[in-house]
Structure 1
Amino acid sequence: MSDTLPAPLPKAVSLAQQQHIVNIIRRAAKAEIMPRFRALSAGDIRAKSHAHDLVTAADTAAEQMITRALQIAFPEALIVGEEAAADTPELLGEIANAQLAFIIDPIDGTWNYAHGMAVFGVIIAVTRFGRPAFGVIYDPVNDDWVIADDESPAMMDAAATSPRPLKASMGKPLNALIGYVPLHIFPKEHQAKLAVALTGFARTHPLGCSAHEYRMIAQGHADFLLTASLHPWDHAAGALICERAGAYVEMLDGGPYNADRHSGHLMVAPDRTTWNRLKKVFAFLLEQP
């Protein structure tokens, strides 16, 4: 029997490729997103699944531009954009079996964007067979981004400044925690009990934008996140970035987060001890109605 350890897998995307992905995002934001911000006409905005689930001309144009650039750079990869998946839902089923997949949210926080509020971002995640391996969350307004891969620490970077490492917050008593819990996306039968549970924290104020919620947690400005919606374009990059910033990330019913999972509750906390305390608070969500 050989004592030789198996060689580690190479990075899903090299450092040079990571920078290329950032450049693709920045170009799309400059060309398609920021020129339309606060300049959308009524015809540029439409509803998808419900009246508050919006898509704009900027979403579709930015996703198309990013997709084209990624297809050129990574011709072997699966590309799954939020808007493409809305038109072709079977794309989501391909993530689990894809050796390399790019998952794009061209504008996360579209409702905010469509209403002129500057709390939105661009998210790209890279997965290997559903497991997040690289993520970047870009803020087009400030032209900066948080970034991590599955081997490196999470970093904040910008064109005009040097990168700096990110560190999630320290654990603290539940009544001192600041979190993001979007009450409206949870099943109606759980909302009343969940609303009462939220009174036990210092603040719970969702931003309507996963991009900035994950950025805030990775920077240590907020402490936890709980969601009942597992769209991979919302969470695959942020879950990895927060984990690499030192946070503890796990599904409420146990096990790691994977981008090919489409139901359940994802929870991010400063550390495992705090995560376990939070689980006791939210355990009722696991009960069958």
Structure 2
Amino acid sequence: MPKLDIEALANLLRDAAKAEILPRFRRLGDGDIRIKTEASDLVTEGDEAAERFIKARLDTVLPGALFVGEESVAHDPALLPKLAGADLALVIDPIDGTFNFASGIPLFAVMAAVVSKGETIAGLIYDPMGDDWVMAEKGGGAWQVRPDGHRTKLSVIAPAPLAEMYGMASTGYLPGGKRATVLGNMAKLRFLMNYRCAGHEYRTFASGHVHYLMYNKLMPWDHLPGTLISQEAGAYAARFDGSAYQPHHVDGGLVLTPDKETWELLRREVFTF
């Protein structure tokens, strides 16, 4: 495993947020927000400026690494396939929850994953509003870390019966028929939530507050950091077909639960199509 200074990477995310994201929060002008693919898929000046900030300082934390940022891939789609074969790569989501950020909702995050030879070896999710991180290195557990160095070990919630489960599911990218089936099956659960910010959903799950997460569209900047953190907190994670989620996957769905038995129960009773 490559030598990694995860604290330096964590501080880089924080520096980018303080320099380029927070000064723009609730201060974006009309020309600072643009639609990418649809009205709910936005990019702001904050996203692009924060990504430039991190990329410019990449060699200070991961010399020679391939840089795969959400906005960089938007400008050059040929960059994304390079991730699978990279010896070392940094995957960045400069603002996860851009819709919330652009709407003035204080629920967004800065996320990073370090990938080596097709394996995620580190994940970080920084909360600019709370000024702390959740982070994990492969094999080292998952932690909530404050800037003063205080660390709290994370652990997923205990399993629960189907009718008592609550969690998050992103159904917007499911095909119409599958979406209707899943939404109908959700009546078997206690609660369904959606923060429109995968970073905070993963933080909530890995911290032991909800029983499941479900996603269909799997862009690496959205899910690599949180999946590793969740697994290091004890979670079971697999794609809809039961296969392991890997950095090059962009489809096939993803379900995370406290254990394999809960995963199988949800796949059988709720995420059925």
Bigger radius of gyration: 1
Aligned equivalent of 1:273, options 257, 261, 264? 261
Aligned equivalent of 1:116, options 104, 124, 131? 104
| Partner Cα distance (1:73, 1:232) in 2 | 20
Letter in 1 for 2:49: A
Deviations 1:237-263 (A, max 9, x none): 100000000011111202211110111
The aligned residue for residue 125 of structure 2 is 137
Aligned equivalent of 1:168, options 144, 152, 156? 156
Letter in 1 for 2:125: I
The aligned residue for residue 93 of structure 1 is 81
Shift of the alpha carbon at 1:68? 1.1
Matched residue SS, 1:284: coil
Letter in 2 for 1:63: E
For the 8 Å contact 1:13–1:134, the answer to whether it is kept is no
Structure 1: 4+ residue segments shifted above 4 A: none
For the 8 Å contact 1:29–1:62, the answer to whether it is kept is yes
Letter in 2 for 1:126: V
The aligned residue for residue 167 of structure 2 is 179
**Runs of at least 5 residues in structure 1 that lack an aligned partner in the other structure:** 1-9
Deviations 1:110-145 (A, max 9, x none): 000000001100000011233211000000001001
Is 1:154 the equivalent of 2:153? no
| Partner Cα distance (1:269, 1:169) in 2 | 9
Matched residue SS, 1:48: strand
The aligned residue for residue 240 of structure 1 is 228
Is 1:229 the equivalent of 2:220? no
For the 8 Å contact 1:224–1:269, the answer to whether it is kept is yes
**Runs of at least 5 residues in structure 2 that lack an aligned partner in the other structure:** none
- RMSD over aligned CA atoms reads 1.2
For the 8 Å contact 2:9–2:61, the answer to whether it is kept is no
| Partner Cα distance (2:128, 2:184) in 1 | 36
For the 8 Å contact 1:71–1:79, the answer to whether it is kept is no
| Partner Cα distance (1:275, 1:57) in 2 | 39
Aligned equivalent of 1:264, options 227, 240, 252? 252
The aligned residue for residue 113 of structure 2 is 125
The aligned residue for residue 93 of structure 2 is 105
Letter in 2 for 1:190: K
Matched residue SS, 2:37: coil
For the 8 Å contact 2:133–2:145, the answer to whether it is kept is yes
| Partner Cα distance (1:88, 1:246) in 2 | 36
TM-score (normalizing by structure 1) = 0.92
Shift of the alpha carbon at 1:161? 5.7
| Partner Cα distance (1:40, 1:283) in 2 | 38
For the 8 Å contact 2:96–2:198, the answer to whether it is kept is yes
| Partner Cα distance (1:13, 1:23) in 2 | 17
For the 8 Å contact 1:180–1:225, the answer to whether it is kept is yes
| Partner Cα distance (2:61, 2:21) in 1 | 22
| Partner Cα distance (2:271, 2:222) in 1 | 23
Aligned equivalent of 2:53, options 43, 65, 80? 65
1:19-58 aligned within 5 A: 19-58=7-46
| Partner Cα distance (1:77, 1:160) in 2 | 28
Letter in 2 for 1:81: G
